[in-house]
Amino acid sequence: MRAIYVETRVDAPMEHVWRATQDPGAHRRWDARFGRIDPVPGSTPARFRYATTVVPGVSVGGWGVHAGERSRPDGTRTSALRFGSDDPRSLIAVGSGYWRYVPGPAGVRFLTGYTYTPRWGPVGRLVDLAFRPAFGWVTAWSFDRLRLWLEHGVPPERARRNAVREVAVRLLGVVSVGLLAGGAGRTPAAVAVLAASLVVAVLPPHPHTPAARRCRRRPPDRLAARPPALLEKL
């Protein structure tokens, strides 16, 4: 199964990026994949429990164990994670991944690679054909929300509101085109709606609205895609 890869570049100090991603309270604010992250006190290596809302009113829980390296010889930092869920409603059974923090003149190159094993047998593998790309999109959207927070001071909560508002405005534009073209007949209206939808899809988002399209979705080299040795220790 193909691993999910997402990369962004954050023009902020390394310590700020590290703190926003390693602190559970800050992490859940920008990462849409988690609704709650609760560290397990006194655990070594560090463990946590998490919960996430899969559909409105339905939340599934899981577990994770992670470790980080803050002082590597090359100046980079690494965080490794193993995770899973015992909830039979969760598509994800077990998985693993990593974060890398690579300093540079234009900020921190922040990237992740992770994969998981779906449950539910053949049905789960079929569902995963749609779920995995969607999960990758949510990861990229969240990474851009983190970037907006650290680069431009846009709180994650405001970024989410910006995204909702922008989607609503774009949908309203498409609906308005359809209503205006409705008097010309079904076929012209359908063509007008299709054209408006294409325009809305390619229009760049507002600078303060998170967008998955701003993130790299394929590893540029083998090093970026290679899981760190730290992962084997978990």
CATH code for position 66: 3.30.530.20
What's the pLDDT at 1?
Answer: 72
Closest CA to 77 of 97, 101, 109: 101
DSSP character at residue 37 = E
Of residues 222 and 142, the one with the higher pLDDT is 142
Domain of residue 175: give its range: 155-207
pTM of the model: 0.92
Residue 152 has pLDDT above 70, yes or no: yes
Residues 29 and 100 in one domain: yes
The answer on 107 and 159 residing in a single domain is: no
* Arithmetic mean of pLDDT, 14-36: 95
Phi and psi angles of residue 217, each rounded to the nearest 5 degrees, phi first: -115, 0
Give the model confidence (pLDDT) of 67-83 as tens digits.
Answer: 999 988 888 999 999 99
Q: Is 31 found in the same domain as 85?
A: yes
Q: Is the pLDDT of residue 186 over 80?
A: no
Are the CB atoms for 146 and 19 separated by under 8 Å? no
**Which residue shows structure tokens 């039979």?**
88
Mean pLDDT on 128-157: 97
**CA proximity to 212, closest of 170, 151, 158, 159:** 159
200 and 220 in a single domain? The answer is: no
SS3 221: coil
Residue 137 pLDDT class (50, 70, 90 cuts): very high
Do 145 and 203 lie in one domain? The reply is no
Q: Tell whether 96 and 26 lie within a shared domain.
A: yes
Q: pLDDT digit string (tens) for 86-126? A: 999 999 999 999 999 999 998 999 999 999 999 999 999 99
* Domains held by the chain: number: 2
125, 31: one domain: yes
Same domain for 137 and 181, yes or no, is no
Do residues 195 and 176 both lie within one domain? Answer: yes
Are 59 and 188 a contacting pair, CB within 8 Å? no
173 and 77, same domain (yes or no):
no
* Residue 135, amino acid: F
Please tell me the distance from the alpha carbon of residue 227 to that of residue 29, in angstroms, as a whole number: 26
pLDDT band of 183, cuts 50, 70, 90: low
Instruction: Indicate if 222 and 138 belong to the same structural domain.
Output: yes
Asked if 79 and 88 touch (Cβ cutoff 8 Å), the reply is no
Three-state SS string across 77-139, please? EEEEEEEECCCCCCCEEEEEEEEEEEEECCEEEEEEEEEEEECCHHHHHHHHHHHHHHHHHHH
Please check whether residues 148 and 166 belong to one and the same domain: no
